[in-house]
Amino acid sequence: MKNLLLICSLLLVSCGSVKQPTMGELVLSQPAILPLDRGAVVKTRDGVYTAQDNEVWHSDQRFRELERKGY
């Protein structure tokens, strides 16, 4: 009985030993710029956005780089 409990506990512990990815390991693909033509429809979490003119959206990383350079 004691051996059975020991084996079961080892099996349960080994089930949780799978390493989960952390935010630093995730690879997210995001373009540096997103050019939008006038009238382009973009679905956002707040609704639908329609570009009024030709626009260029910059990623957060690209914006910060441009901000450091002083445009």
**45, part of any domain:** yes
H or E element in which residue 48 lies: strand 47-50
Q: So what's the pLDDT on residue 28?
A: 67
**6, part of any domain:** no
- Among candidate residues 71, 30, 34, the one with its CA nearest the CA of residue 55: 34
Taking residue 13's Cβ as centre, other Cβ atoms within 10 Å add up to: 9
pLDDT digits (tens, 9 = 90+) for 33-51: 999 999 999 999 999 999 9
> pTM for the full model?
0.49
Structural domains counted in the chain: 1
Question: Rounded CA gap, 62 and 33, in Å?
Answer: 8
Domain that holds residue 63: 32-71
**9, part of any domain:** no
**50, part of any domain:** yes
Q: How much is the average pLDDT of 1-22? A: 62
Q: So what's the pLDDT on residue 30?
A: 77
H or E element in which residue 43 lies: strand 41-44
Question: Rounded CA gap, 38 and 51, in Å?
Answer: 5
